[in-house]
C-alpha cells in the first residue's frame, strides 16, 4: 500500500470533529506564517503630530492608525441658562436615585455586602466586609455627599479568618474601591481608607502564592 493511500485511510477513520480541528489549525498556521513574513510598508505618519480639531485618527505604536469614530462627549465650555438648568436637573435626579438605593441599604443592611430588596435582608457573598459600603464611598465623593459617618465603619472592617472570599471581587471592589475613594477624598481622616486597603491587600497576598503564580479563585485564610 502506498503512503498516499495509508494517509488517506488514516484521515477517513478520524472523527469529523478532529478533521475540522486539524483543518482550522492548518489554516491558522498558514495565515500566521504569511503575516509573519509578509513585508509591511510603514505608514508615512509623524508620531509626534498633534491632532487637529475634528480629526478622528488616533496614532499609536508602530505607526498604527485607528479610524474609530470619536465617542467621548465634548466638554461644554459655554452653556445657556436653559442648558445649565437641564444639566443640573439631570444631576440632581441621578443623585436622588442613588440616595434611594443607599438609604435602603443603610436602613436594612449597613455593613453587609448587599441588601436583598424584596425581603429587606442582608447578604454576604463577598466575604462580609461591606462590599456595597465600600463601593458607595467613591460615588458619594463624586456626588459631593458627606462620608463622615462611613469612615468609622471602614476603620472597623475586619477580614474574617474563616470566610470564603473571592480574590477577584476583593481586589477590585475592596482594595480598588478604597484606593479610589482615597484619591478622590480630601477628608482629614482619609488615611483610614488607605490603611484599610493595605490591610485587606496584605491579607489577600497568600492567595497568590501558587505553583503557577495564578491566584486562587476563592480564598480562605485558614485553609
pLDDT higher than threshold 50 for residue 35? yes
CA distance 45 to 61: 11
Q: What are residue 59's DSSP bridge partners? A: 65
pLDDT at 54: 45
Supply the pLDDT for residue 49: 46
Q: Is residue 2 one of the residues assigned to a domain? A: no
**pLDDT for position 101:** 95
Q: Residue 55 has what pLDDT?
A: 46
Is residue 74 a part of any domain in this protein? no
Residue 27 is given by DSSP the state H
| Residue with more model confidence, 24 or 108 | 108
Whole-prediction pTM: 0.64
183 and 86 both lie in a single domain = yes
Q: Domain for residue 111, yes or no? A: yes
Tell whether 37 and 126 lie within a shared domain: no
Q: How far apart are CA 160 and CA 97, in angstroms?
A: 32
Structural domain contains residue 3: no
Neighbours of 108 (CB within 10 A): 15
One domain, residues 103 and 181: yes
Q: Which of 17-21, 119-123, 133-137 has the lowest mean pLDDT?
A: 17-21
| 8 A C-beta contact, residue 164 and residue 220 | yes
Residues 215, 126 share a domain? yes
pLDDT of 193 strictly over 60: yes
- Are 97 and 56 part of one and the same domain? no
Domain range holding 19? 12-66
Instruction: Indicate whether 4 belongs to any domain.
Output: no
Both 98 and 186 in one domain: the answer is yes
Of 209, 192, 200, 193, give the one whose Cα is nearest residue 163: 200
Q: What is the pLDDT of residue 201?
A: 92
Q: Is the same domain home to 62 and 103?
A: no
Q: Are residues 209 and 106 in the same domain?
A: yes
Do 20 and 101 sit in the same domain of this protein? no
Report residue 27's pLDDT band, with 50, 70 and 90 as the boundaries.
Answer: confident
Q: How many domains does the structure of the chain reveal?
A: 2
CA–CA separation, 57 vs 51, rounded Å? 8
For the chain, what percent of residues have pLDDT higher than 70? 76
Same domain, 178 and 135: yes
Q: Mark whether 206 and 177 lie in a shared domain.
A: yes
Same domain flag for 170 and 119: yes
For range 156-176, the mean pLDDT: 89
DSSP 156: T
Amino acid at each position: 500500500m502506498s503512503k498516499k493511500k495509508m494517509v488517506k485511510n488514516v484521515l477517513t477513520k478520524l472523527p469529523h470533529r478532529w478533521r475540522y480541528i486539524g483543518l482550522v489549525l492548518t489554516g491558522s498556521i498558514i495565515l500566521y506564517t504569511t503575516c509573519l513574513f509578509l513585508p509591511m510598508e510603514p505608514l508615512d505618519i509623524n508620531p509626534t503630530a498633534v491632532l487637529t480639531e475634528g480629526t478622528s485618527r488616533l496614532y499609536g505604536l508602530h505607526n498604527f492608525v485607528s479610524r474609530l469614530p470619536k465617542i467621548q462627549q465634548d466638554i461644554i465650555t459655554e452653556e445657556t441658562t436653559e442648558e445649565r438648568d437641564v444639566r443640573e436637573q439631570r444631576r440632581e435626579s441621578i443623585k436622588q436615585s442613588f440616595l434611594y438605593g443607599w438609604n435602603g441599604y443603610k436602613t436594612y443592611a449597613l455593613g453587609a455586602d448587599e441588601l436583598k430588596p424584596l425581603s429587606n435582608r442582608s447578604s454576604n457573598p463577598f466575604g462580609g466586609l461591606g462590599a456595597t459600603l465600600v463601593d458607595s464611598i467613591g460615588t458619594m465623593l463624586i456626588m459631593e455627599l458627606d462620608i463622615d459617618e462611613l469612615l468609622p465603619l471602614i476603620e472597623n472592617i475586619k477580614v474574617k479568618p474563616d470566610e470564603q472570599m473571592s480574590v477577584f471581587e476583593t481586589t477590585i471592589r475592596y482594595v480598588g474601591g478604597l484606593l479610589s475613594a482615597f484619591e478622590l477624598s480630601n477628608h482629614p481622616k482619609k488615611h483610614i481608607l488607605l490603611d484599610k486597603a493595605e490591610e485587606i491587600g496584605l491579607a489577600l497576598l497568600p492567595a497568590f502564592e501558587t505553583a503557577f503564580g495564578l491566584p486562587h479563585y476563592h480564598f480562605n485564610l485558614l485553609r
